[in-house]
Amino acid sequence: MTETNNRKLLQGNQATALGALAAGCRFFAGYPITPSTEIAETMALELPKVGGRFIQMEDEIASISAIIGASVAGAKSMTATSGPGFSLMQEGLGYAYMAEVPCVTVNVMRGGPSTGLPTKVAQADVMQAKWGTHGDYFPIVLCPSSVKDCFDITVKAFNLAEKYRNPVIVLSDEVIGHMREIVVLPDPSTLQLIERKKPNVPPEWYKHFQITADFTSPMASFGQGYRFHLTGLTHDERGFPTSNSETIAAKLDKLKLKIERHVDDIVECRQYQCEDANIVLFAYGSVARAARQAVIESRKKRLRVGLFQPVTLWPFPEEQLRRMTQKAKLVIVAELNQGQMIGDVRRVCKDKIRVIGLNRYDGELITPEQILNLIKEDH
């Protein structure tokens, strides 16, 4: 029973914090809010032990600003919040997209709008994660559905942030964040970690926003002798504000193409028994757990039901969804909101496949029975 020794009962939020630490996160700034607070608590306990810094800021605007600053100074950095705090962070996130600052923001979703339901689950910030701040920008948004996922996906979030010099959002939810499960965590030394590209040119040649073949520029840290200018204003390769239309378009293309050209690398999906499915369930986060159970129950009744579970919500996994719905006549989009991801599912399925929503927004998780009943009604 040596395995028993490595078995740990962990909460999703704890696993998120441990994943961040394993990924090399050494700076956390945040403001406590249910249901994300355990992430801050764990970081406050653990960061000092590895030479990192934890700071509780006066609010969420200050928190996102602090992690941007820490990242520009060279540290992998993270903040964690829930809906109301995520709203406040949108301004800072916009700056991070524009200034191409790698950082990780965890939003453990609860009911909204406004202060909504502090202790109850929802998935209603999915569109906010994509469109929350103004302008054209391309978020990477990942969504865990188990305690183990919280660890793995946070590691992945840091890797993608570093690789693409982009903010990455981890959209957890109250059920996943507060749930405890048995996990066996990997030895941190076995993890594949990605570090941001560093400049290999002399400081006087350095351009902080150089347009490269893969559209991601090498990033020097403040204080290393490489001089650069950072601003939220649209800027040239050196970081200085510009009103030159060619330079403006080139900057916005860069923001788009560094993500769009690497969608295959960024997008992760899971599918269960979709190959022959004429009914495909589309579900993510905690709802994917209910949907997986519903697939098992349906198969016992010889119904050809499958589950498509996006781990990457944005960029939207278009190709993968298209492939997994080839035999489908019906797609059921089950989500804890009044219908958010369903718009993109409809866009991909066009008129060829019927798409219906199963929506719950009363603070409770969708049950397998609800999904099974909907399948039965439709048959």
Site residues (vs other proteins, CB under 8 A): 1, 3-4, 7-9, 34, 118-119, 175, 178-182, 286, 289-290, 292-293, 296, 365, 367-369
Report, in Å, the least distance between residue 138 CB and other proteins.
32
Which residue type occupies 367?
T
> Whose CA is closest to 349, among 372, 328, 367, 363?
328
Rounded to whole angstroms, the Cα distance separating 360 from 364 reads: 7
Report, in Å, the least distance between residue 129 CB and other proteins.
23
User: In the complex with other proteins, which residue's Cβ is closer, 43 or 372?
Assistant: 372
Q: How many other CB atoms are there within 10 angstroms of residue 379's CB atom?
A: 9
User: In the complex with other proteins, which residue's Cβ is closer, 34 or 221?
Assistant: 34
- Omega before 317 within 30 of 0, i.e. cis: no
Report, in Å, the least distance between residue 178 CB and other proteins.
6
Please check whether residue 208 is in contact with residue 228, taking contact to mean a CB–CB distance below 8 angstroms. Answer: yes
Rounded to whole angstroms, the Cα distance separating 78 from 63 reads: 9
User: In the complex with other proteins, which residue's Cβ is closer, 73 or 182?
Assistant: 182
48 phi and psi, to 5 degrees?
-60, -30
372 phi and psi, to 5 degrees?
-60, -40
Q: Using H for helix, E for strand and C for coil, what is the string for 227-256?
A: CCCCCCCCECCCCCECCCHHHHHHHHHHHH
User: In the complex with other proteins, which residue's Cβ is closer, 42 or 217?
Assistant: 42
Report, in Å, the least distance between residue 331 CB and other proteins.
20
Report, in Å, the least distance between residue 149 CB and other proteins.
12
H/E segment holding residue 88 = helix 83-99
User: In the complex with other proteins, which residue's Cβ is closer, 178 or 346?
Assistant: 178
- Read off the tokens for 364: 């409770």
User: In the complex with other proteins, which residue's Cβ is closer, 113 or 135?
Assistant: 113
User: In the complex with other proteins, which residue's Cβ is closer, 139 or 177?
Assistant: 177
User: In the complex with other proteins, which residue's Cβ is closer, 8 or 207?
Assistant: 8
Report, in Å, the least distance between residue 236 CB and other proteins.
49
Please check whether residue 47 is in contact with residue 41, taking contact to mean a CB–CB distance below 8 angstroms. Answer: no
> Whose CA is closest to 262, among 136, 128, 165?
165
Report, in Å, the least distance between residue 6 CB and other proteins.
10
Please check whether residue 151 is in contact with residue 177, taking contact to mean a CB–CB distance below 8 angstroms. Answer: no
Rounded to whole angstroms, the Cα distance separating 313 from 169 reads: 10
- In a 3-state reduction of DSSP, which class is residue 67? helix
Report, in Å, the least distance between residue 300 CB and other proteins.
8
